[in-house]
A and B are shown apart, each in its own frame.
Chain A
Amino acid sequence: MIDSQDIIKQLEKKLSSTSFDAKTEHVGTVEANNDGVITASGLSKVTMGEMVVFDKGDRGFVLNLSEDSVSIILLSTKSDIKEGDTVKALGEILSIEVDEGLLGRVINPIGAPLDGKPGIKKGKRMPLERIAAGVVERSPVDTPLKTGIKAIDTMIPIGRGQRELIIGDRGLGKTAIALDAIINQRVTTKGQKPVICIYVAIGQKQSSVSQVVDRLKQEKSIDNTIVVVAGASDPASLQYLAPFAGTSIAEYFMEKGEDVLIVYDDLTKHAWSYRQLSLVLKRPAGREAYPGDIFYLHSRLLERSVRLNKEHGGGSITSLPIIETQASDISAYIPTNVISITDGQIYLQSDLFNLGIRPAINPGNSVSRVGGAAQTKAIKAVAGKLRLELAQYNALAAFAQFGSELDEATTKQLERGKRSVEILKQPQYSPLTEAYEIISIWAVTNGYLDDIPVEEVGRFEKELHEHVTIHSKKLLEKLNTGDKMDDETLSTLKKSVEDFKKGADFTK
């Protein structure tokens, strides 16, 4: 119990530490309010991106400076701001309060909590717009970021600090891949740092975001994840700011030496929101009515994904931007822009999806430009063969459609290809560890599935994993290290698979 004397003492102490500075304010007057864009006179010393506050407490930020007026974008949906109202410059650029307390939280792009819990008050203020790390601060991508998805980890590997685009039509599983990648980070690989995840939902339905959050909770991945939401009903200004806010949060953790994975879901809607803002600001419209700086918008955002060198803490930001295409057209304006900015893309195709191949990744159009250097030796050893076999299968399968009689070698290759495609199928929310991935791929590329009916491949894989888990725990541990497979490991793996095959019956 604190007595009254203590309270008075505390107040006196507080009073003595208070500085009584003269108040200086920089003000302007509202001239017009058109579609959430406020034109104000005065504010002659305001800077681009500076925050302002109106009489009734509404906040906004400056996005256009002209000779005798400024254009302000409102950060709220209220529009009761009228001509003659006073607007005050806050002297600070847009920023977000960040600390470790944000982990497991759902917030909006200006840091206001959306999950009913209290907001972050005493964190570090991180500016939303920031120049990306320079060349001297960077280090090459050399550490893998496991997604737990066989097709990605083997053929399109992602490294920490990489920017890998997920592109495809709606409903093909783009968000599912990103979510699987987040879910897989709950397990930390020995010798590697845990990964903090940030999911940025831009212009999405609140119900979709709610499903994502619920799923993350179910999978126990929410504790190392921060969800930044600017929903479809939020103003375009918030949707525009959302990926920048997510990146600022990511930078806070990266500066502390942490590895961060950030998902921008999706940048198509982000481009739409920027187009909307630009049009109401009367900026000249270019191709598809997007403003001229739409490329710069995404390039400056994605350039902030980086792997820092050890002198700068060694942290990293890996980003998975998502782009939604229309009718598989990857040559549209925004898709081509983002493809050229990123370090590779995972291309999802509707034909594959309809054939039941899920994740519907097209290995031909998908590429990882820097991820290969980040692959572990173990997975690299098995992945090379798989990629080659799949390429051969795809080429042969196209020709096989025309002819009925095929020689034995071709038939064998086609059958192997079918099983390779089958083994790459993976249900949603079930990411695999590196060991299981290696076992599956090794088994198929070494012909252990050649005599298994295609429709039994899934069951074979599941039971093989169970068998190895029970009988060869040491093998799993060894494979999970990612070290090069020596002869002993290979013979143990071979023995394990052969033992399993002996004891199981997969013939129809």
Chain B
Amino acid sequence: MNKKLLKQLLLISYRNGELDSETIAKISEKLDRTQLKQYIRALKNAEKLHNVYIETPFSENKTMMDSFKNIFPDKKIQNLVNSSLIVGTKISYNDDIFEVSLKNNLDQIVRNVVEDYD
């Protein structure tokens, strides 16, 4: 499957910014094993670019989500609860992860102390 065709398939796989399960099912039926693999990989990559994952120690609140929507205007913001952060947030977009949290600060202190006394 060439890249042009793969791009077209990806375009029609989305409806209103969301994956369209019916279209995807139809496309999948027509692809052989190798093509299907390529298609799934392309979908995964597209989803990575389409979604922003926000991890916080508490469940989502409107003010926070609005401010993230302003930062990432055309992306789908997904909130995940991660209590291990203690305080702070972790943002994952595509293959970048950005973390400002108390957990990270404590980890840095531990790392520094261990390095010093090693």
Chain A interface (Cβ < 8 Å from any Cβ of B):
11, 14-15, 18-28, 31, 41-45, 68, 121
Interface pair A27/B97, CB less than 8 Å apart: yes
B113 within 8 A of A: yes
Which A residues are CB-close (under 8 A) to B83?
none
- State the Cβ distance, B117 to closest chain A Cβ, in Å: 10
Q: A11-B113, A14-B112, A15-B109 are in contact. Are A22 and B100 (CB under 8 A)?
A: yes
Which B residues are CB-close (under 8 A) to A41?
41, 44-45
Which A residues are CB-close (under 8 A) to B41?
31, 41, 68
Partner of B105, one of A20, A43, A45: A20
Which A residues are CB-close (under 8 A) to B116?
14
CA distance A499 to B96 in the complex (A): 83
CA distance A121 to B48 in the complex (A): 38
Which B residues are CB-close (under 8 A) to A121?
118
Q: Is the interface of B mostly helix, strand, loop or mixed?
A: helix
- B66-98 near A? 1/0 per residue, CB < 8 Å: 000000000000000000000000000011111
Query: In the complex, given contacts A22-B104, A25-B99, what are 16 additional A-B residue pairs having Cβ atoms less than 8 angstroms apart?
Result: A18-B108, A18-B112, A19-B108, A22-B98, A23-B97, A23-B104, A24-B98, A24-B99, A25-B96, A27-B97, A41-B41, A42-B94, A42-B95, A68-B41, A68-B45, A121-B118
- How many residues of B are in contact with the other chain, CB < 8 A? 19
- Chain B's closest residue to A17 (CB) is B112
Which B residues are CB-close (under 8 A) to A15?
109
CA distance A28 to B95 in the complex (A): 6
Interface centre among A11, A19, A23, A24 (most CB of B within 10 A): A23
Chain B interface (Cβ < 8 Å from any Cβ of A):
41, 44-45, 48, 94-100, 104-105, 108-109, 112-113, 116, 118
Which B residues are CB-close (under 8 A) to A25?
96-99
A-B contact pairs, 25 of them (CB 8 A): A14-B113, A18-B108, A18-B112, A20-B108, A22-B98, A22-B99, A23-B97, A23-B99, A23-B104, A24-B96, A24-B97, A24-B99, A25-B96, A26-B95, A26-B96, A26-B97, A27-B96, A42-B48, A42-B95, A43-B95, A44-B95, A45-B95, A68-B41, A68-B45, A121-B118
Which B residues are CB-close (under 8 A) to A14?
112-113, 116
Which B residues are CB-close (under 8 A) to A28?
95
CA distance A21 to B108 in the complex (A): 9
CA distance A386 to B79 in the complex (A): 84
Which B residues are CB-close (under 8 A) to A43?
95
- State the Cβ distance, A117 to closest chain B Cβ, in Å: 15
CA distance A68 to B45 in the complex (A): 9
CA distance A23 to B95 in the complex (A): 14
Which 10 pairs across A and B sit closest by C-beta, in order of nearness? Answer: A42-B95, A25-B97, A23-B99, A22-B100, A20-B105, A23-B104, A18-B112, A27-B95, A24-B98, A44-B95
Which A residues are CB-close (under 8 A) to B100?
22-23
